[in-house]
Chain A
Amino acid sequence: MTDVIQAVVDALSLASLYALLALPVALIYGIMGLINFAQGELTMIAAYGLFLFAAVTLPLAVFMALVLVVVAALAMERVAFRPVRNSSEETLLVTSFAVSFLLQNLALIIFGSRPKSISTPSSLSQSFDVGGIFIDAVAILTVVLAVVCIGGLVLFMNRSRFGISMRAAAEDFTMARLVGIRANAVISATFAIAGALAGVAAFVLVVQSGSAFATMGLTPVIIAFVATMMGGLGSLRGALLGAAILGVITVGFDQILSEELRPARDAFVYGAVLLVLLVRPSGLIPSNRERV
């Protein structure tokens, strides 16, 4: 029984991290049809931000890293994506690859290829034994941050005038512009939110791994992409569902696979994803957005 509860706790924590990674990818795709592979580099920038601001107190460092990554996300949109906004999805995708590689190599030049170690308070690496179930402090942190971010985003998208404008734009961008919603403002806000979410995810990843490195955004962006594809590209609820399922099946295979097969866990996980996509090619909750 404790094994099952332990697995549920682990899955909840992993799904929370995946949700933080997947939401910005789904949000940007929903608004402008861009699968932004450079989202991973926003995570990397935030992590290096935590490294650079390590001298100040942790809350201040996190705040400054968040500001840095939001500014980076806004700059990314303005410099790289705005000029090609009306191009095909393929052009946008290739642009995002270019931005991704550019930022990775820039980080290699500035910080070198060796990971930069970042120390976080020891309280965050603690583990609690609750009746035989081990709960890491970082797992609690991840779940709390995900709940706060998702809850905040849901409130913003449903209650605020600007959030409702963003939902309208995600559904029908041209029609949103026809009622007077400013395209630039909506897209900039989307990138700012994506940047902030990348910052939160980076904080969790840094607490988990204790380091920042140039290619650290790659695995998170692949996970985010897979979760959003499985959930239904462009649908926020789909991204959350995809993240949850990916978290659950990852932990599930960890539990059921034998010692010898466990190193090949990801093959099983992505095999399961393929099965889902074979049955539901448009994802579990397809978005009804029209291509602009």
Chain B
Amino acid sequence: MGVGEVKETESFREKIARRAAQEIEDGMIINLGIGIPTLVADFIPKDKKVLFHAENGILGTGPSPAPGEENPMLCNAGGFPVTLATGASFFDSATAFAIIRRGLLDMTILGVLEVSERGDIANWIVPGKRVPGMGGAMELAQKAKKVMVLTTHLDKNGRSKIVRECSLPLTAVGAAHLIITDMAVMEVREDGLYLKEVMHPYTVADVIGATEAELKMDEEVRVFR
């Protein structure tokens, strides 16, 4: 498969989410962003108990309600109706962000427009084109204990979203820890960006060829199927 032909399809999204779910440990407090990150919840093994934080004021969101069972006031930060997990609580927006700034989130899972080899994240503005605003992304990226980025490797124009330097205004500096794309799993370390895994059927050469950032390797690169 040619790299330029990679498209964001349902199966790619699910594969990224399935790989991301492997990073989740029992007992974690997790915030899921909109898009691919939302899918991760579907892949967490039942024996791992986690609590999902929604920055609109819920700790302990549950699955989507059955059609007709929605409470329009009870939604996640993406505006979709949710149910509650056992032990859930409600609070105002100041408390929602107190949880984040105080470092009580074990993990936040975000989408990006660009992520750099030093972990800089850009995901809130394309000046002059798309200006949605940062929402809660700055706090989440800056303060969660582990920041996991889920994204397609390439943008719509076939350009690498994994870059040496972000060209877009930043959301947070040096924030990303792990980057999972439809092509690879990469880890941000002090001394650079390491290629840990390739996503089947891509090869190491495919990934290096599609990545603008410098990729380092210090062990055998595994294949995720």
| A interacts with B | no
